[in-house]
Amino acid sequence: MKRALALTVSALSLTTAGLIAPATAAQATTATQAKGRDYWVCLNGYFCLGDYPSMSIHGASWGTNHLGKGCIKSLPKKIDNKASSMDNGSRFKVWLYDKKNCAGVSGYQAKKYSKDKNLKTNKFGVNMDNRVSSIKS
């Protein structure tokens, strides 16, 4: 009991100190506010989406390191069909889809270790701004 309590207190201390991000049931938060900056920073090895241009802290962010395993069939409600920017800090290419289950238009490919301030323009000529519902790597 004492050990479990100590582990809980330690984890809570690290979370409130900002050394680790709090986790949800599905995945951990993977973007953090850059110190003294007004944008989110995606952690190394993660792919992140932001619902505001340039990953601004004025919007929501979401990220995952569950890459290279196929389709992430749906995105959390806070970012589903709301993504306006992306930061790919991973070694994987990531395709963005406008439907759940990696269906529909795959009009955007995020190159590994790349960033995009907005999802309106890309080499495929498809506007994915506020349309991303699933991703595949």
* pLDDT digits 0-9 by tens, 69-118: 999 999 999 889 989 889 999 999 999 999 999 998 887 899 999 998 88
The candidate with the shortest Cα–Cα distance to 79, out of 68, 94, 64, is: 64
What's the CA dihedral at 74, 76, 82, 83 to 10 degrees?
-80
pLDDT at residue number 103: 93
Q: What is the DSSP letter of 5?
A: H
**Nearest-5° Cα angle at 56, 63 to 101:** 35
Cα gap 50→133, rounded to integer Å? 13
Residue 14, in any domain of the structure: no
pLDDT at residue number 16: 33
* pLDDT digits 0-9 by tens, 24-67: 323 444 555 555 555 677 888 999 998 776 566 667 788 889 99
Residue 32, in any domain of the structure: yes
Residue 75, in any domain of the structure: yes
Cα gap 114→100, rounded to integer Å? 23
Does the pLDDT at position 2 exceed 50? no
* Domain range for 40: 23-136
List the CATH number of the domain containing 78: 2.60.20.10
Q: Please count the helices (runs of H) and the strands (runs of E) in the chain.
A: 1, 10
Residue 1, in any domain of the structure: no
Residue 94, in any domain of the structure: yes
Q: Which residue has the higher pLDDT, 15 or 61?
A: 61
Cα gap 41→130, rounded to integer Å? 20
Residue 5, in any domain of the structure: no
Query: And the tokens for 114?
Result: 């790349």
Residue 39, in any domain of the structure: yes
Q: What total of structural domains would you count in the chain?
A: 1
